[in-house]
Structure 1
Amino acid sequence: MKGPALLLAAIAVFGVLDANGKLLSGAYPVGQVISMRYIVLLPVFFALRGLWPGLGGRFRTAHPGLHALRIASMMVSAASFFLGFRHVSLAEGYLVFFTAPFMTLALAALVAREPVPRAAWFWCAVGFGGVLVAVVPKLGGGGSLLGFAWVLLGTIGFSVTQTVNRQLKGESGLAMLVVWPGLAGLLIFGPLAVRDWVAPPPLDLAMLMANGLLGGAAVVLSAAAYRHADAARLGTYGYAALPVSVALDFIIWGRVPDAATQLGGAVVIIACVMSERARRRTLSAAQGTSVGNRCVPSGINGKGVTARTAASGSGP
């Protein structure tokens, strides 16, 4: 359960990051918000590395192309979600974001060539159905098409990032996951921040700085999750962002979840539980087949027997 647990933690942190970004989006430009994230994150990382030499591993990689793709998708995702949530509510934005498990499964099958069992697709669809039950009634008032487009672009970037994370699972350490995206973020968004800088009061400055710690934690947790489990296993857990968004809506904006939201949340939880049960049944069946076909060393009569026939008490 290490992979799912890490992903659930990442989703919770991403939710807080999105809520914090939405609170800031009306007053601050995208360049300032995102560059502040890395202005905070990089010094914190190097300070920790100074206290614990070697923390995070090496800065070298055997897959520079994959890291470049990951950096690009991270920058697109960060900017797009920030701009999208400026125009739409968390609930509306998350409706689009919940296509991410399908995208991640498709990329895992088409690009990473990972086997995706039918049960994973089925329970992923059930989870998306739960999201529709919860969110569609809230769309009656309409929403910004531009906002939806930004969130969709961010979702594509997020899905690409998770797929690349899985392909980089063999690399040890997390330094490459933090430092190079941080430097790229400063190079891309730093000039925009200087051009459009808005002087923040102390509370807003603290919120801007918190984005750095939240963003770094979310990136590390999600990358670690895909190093411990494949997309087929983790796909359905992406829908756990629904109860996270409901909780944040209540805590920050005082919105009480209605009956549709509660029902949709229940469906999402059931889909997550059943997806994990289906995975375990598939794994047990595969292990049973492997054991059943495993050869046992020959007996004294020189004839080999299989574990299955030996267990049944009859020879070949």
Structure 2
Amino acid sequence: MRGPALLLAGIVLFSLLDANSKLLSGQYGVGQVIFLRYAVLVPAFLAARAIRPGFGGPLATRHPGLHAVRILAMMVSAASFFLAFRQLPLAQGYLVFFTAPFLTLALSALVLREAVPRAAWFWCLAGFGGVLLAVAPNLGGGAGSLGGYLAVFIGTVAFAVSQTVNRRLRGEPGLVGVVLWPGLVGLLVFGPMAAADWVAPPPLDLLRLGLNGLLAGTAVVLTAAAYRHADAARLGPYGFVALPVSVALDLGLWGVAPDPATLLGGVVVVFACVMSERARRAAGVDGTMAPAAARLPVPP
């Protein structure tokens, strides 16, 4: 059970990261919050590498172009999810995010030319139907907004792109490509944005802003470790734990309970994900499209 336990710990930390970012989003802009996340994450990673030489894998890569695409997708995903959770309850955002396996499946078929059984396509459509069922009542200005749903969908598409690229980089294991290089690029991208709308945080807020970096770094390390102890097929179903965790955080921090449409849509999406993956395995298609457990792509 070591793999599932590590994955569940990573999921909880990523959920706390999203909740903390949502709490901070009312006072600070996207540039400042994400810049300070990387400003803590990068030195922490370098410190771990200094203490344990070679931690995170080799610095060199044979595929700089693919890494550049993945980093760009990660930057778009990080910003989009931050903007989405400004307007959406965590549970509704996570529900849309659970369409990432379907989008990754489509990209794998279109870009990587992987075979996809017809049954898997059917369950993809069913999954998107579940999301529409959940979000439709809120599009008129209820718990969420059209802008929030659009932002989380863009973030989910970007995440699916990063996961598709990650499948092409299976031969380059390690955390450098998903922590260090994106962190350095993130400092360059979000630094000017942070400077443009910088708000001087009091000590407690500064601590919470820095905490995001530790949460993100620890979560991705735990998630990567989980996949070294168990395969993706076994760990995939545990990714759905993110949904009840997000519901608990919505209730505990904001007093927001999921409406019946969200609960029903969640059931449809989870069932469709499971059935889509079963269809792929039954057809003997390599690679899992199980729900992603984290906002960062898991190293191969």
For the aligned pair, the TM-score class normalised by the smaller chain equals: 0.7 to 0.9
- Supply the AA of the counterpart residue of 2:28: Y
| Inter-partner Cα distance in structure 2 for 1:226 and 1:105 | 20
Give ranges in structure 1 of 5+ residues lacking alignment.
285-316
Task: Give 3-state SS (helix, strand or coil) of 1:255's partner.
Answer: coil
Q: Is the 8 A contact 2:15 2:245 kept in 1?
A: yes
Percent identical among aligned pairs is 69
1:214 — aligned with what?
215
Give yes or no for the alignment of 1:146 onto 2:147: yes
- Counterpart code for 1:117: P
Are 2:170 and 1:158 equivalent residues in the alignment? Answer: no
2:27 — aligned with what? 27
Query: Structure 1 residues 6, 77: CA separation in 2 closer, same or farther (over 3 Å shift)?
Result: farther
Unaligned segments of structure 2, at least 5 residues: 286-300
Query: In the superposition, relative to structure 1, how do residues 125 and 227 fare at CA in structure 2: closer, same or farther (>3 Å)?
Result: farther
In the aligned structure 1, how far is the partner of 2:213 from the partner of 2:153?
23
- State the 1:96 CA deviation: 4.2
> Kindly tell me: are residues 122 and 9 of structure 1, through their superposed partners in 2, closer, same or farther at Cα, counting changes over 3 Å?
farther
Partner residue, 1:245: 246
Equivalence for 2:292 = none
One-letter amino acid matched to 2:257: V
TM value normalised by structure 1 = 0.74
- Count of residues in correspondence between the two structures: 284
Change (3 A) 1:101 1:174: same
For residues 26 and 150 of structure 1, do their structure 2 counterparts lie closer, same or farther at Cα, with a shift above 3 Å needed? same
What code does the residue aligned with 1:82 have?
A: F
The structure number with the bigger radius of gyration is 1
Q: Any idea what the Cα deviations from partners look like across 1:64-86, whole Å, max 9, x if unmatched? A: 00001111111111112212322
- In structure 1, what is the equivalent of residue 175 of structure 2? 174
Deviations, residues 44-79 of structure 1 (Å, cap 9, x unaligned): 111111221111111000100000111111111111
CA contact (8 A) 1:8 1:237 kept: yes
> In structure 2, do the counterparts of structure 1 residues 236 and 104 end up closer, same or farther at CA, with 3 Å as the change threshold?
farther
Q: Equivalents in 1 of 2:151, 2:242: separation in Å?
A: 18
Q: Which residue pairs with 1:52 in the alignment?
A: 52
Which gives a bigger RCO, structure 1 or 2 (Cα 8 Å, sep 6+)?
Answer: 2
SS in 2 for 1:116: coil
Q: Which moved more, 1:158-167 or 1:83-92?
A: 83-92
Shift of 1:230: 11
Counterparts of 1:2 and 1:283, CA distance in 2? 27
Report if aligned partners of 1:25, 1:86 keep a CA contact under 8 Å in 2. yes
**Alignment partners' CA distance in 2, 1:209 and 1:167:** 32
Match of 2:40 in 1: 40
Q: In the alignment, what sits opposite 1:136?
A: 136
Take 2:80 and 2:258, find their aligned partners in 1: how far apart are those partners?
Answer: 27
Aligned residue number for residue 191 of structure 1:
192
C-alpha displacement of 1:5: 8.3
**Is the Cα contact below 8 Å between 1:22 and 1:85 reproduced in 2?**
yes
Task: Give yes or no for contact 1:30–1:82 (8 Å, CA) kept in 2.
Answer: yes
Matched to 2:58, the amino acid is: R
Deviation at 1:189, TM superposition (A): 1.1
Change (3 A) 1:51 1:223: closer
Measure how far apart 1:161 and its partner are: 0.9
Measured after TM superposition, the shift of residue 213 of structure 1 is 2.2
Change (3 A) 1:54 1:146: same
The verdict on how the C-alpha distance between 1:252 and 1:220 changes in structure 2, with shifts beyond 3 A counting, is same
Counterparts of 1:199 and 1:208, CA distance in 2: 12
Question: 1:221, CA displacement in angstroms?
Answer: 6.2
Give 1:237 shift.
7.6
In structure 2, distance between residues paired with 1:12 and 1:275: 25
The answer on 1:100 being equivalent to 2:100 is yes
Residues 1:236 and 1:122: Cα distance change in structure 2 (over 3 Å): farther
- 2:117 maps to 1:117: yes
- Answering whether residue 75 of structure 2 is matched by residue 71 of structure 1, we say no
Structure 1 window deviating more from structure 2 (136-145 vs 72-81): it is 136-145
CA shift, 1:250, in A, is 1.7
Distance in 2 between residues matched to 1:81 and 1:230, nearest whole Å: 27
Structure 1 position 92, deviation (Å): 4.6
d(CA) in 2 for partners of 1:218 and 1:170? 22
After superposition, the Cα gap between the structure-2 partners of 1:272 and 1:11, relative to the gap in structure 1 and judged at 3 Å, is: farther
SS of residue matched to 2:180: helix
Contact 2:96 2:131 in 1 (8 A): no
Greater CA drift, 211-220 or 174-183: 211-220
- TM-superposed CA distance for 1:100, in Å, is 2.4
Q: Find the counterpart in structure 1 of residue 202 from structure 2.
A: 201
**Maintained 8 Å contact 1:58/1:176:** no
SS in 2 for 1:113: coil
After superposition, the Cα gap between the structure-2 partners of 1:29 and 1:93, relative to the gap in structure 1 and judged at 3 Å, is same
Q: Which moved more, 1:252-261 or 1:16-25?
A: 252-261
- The farther-off stretch of 275-284 and 142-151 is 275-284
How many Å apart are 1:269 and its aligned residue?
Answer: 4.4
1:150–1:257: structure 2 CA closer, same or farther, 3 Å change rule? closer
2:298 aligns with none
Contact 1:128 1:239 in 2 (8 A): no
| Partner residue in 1 for 2:293 | none
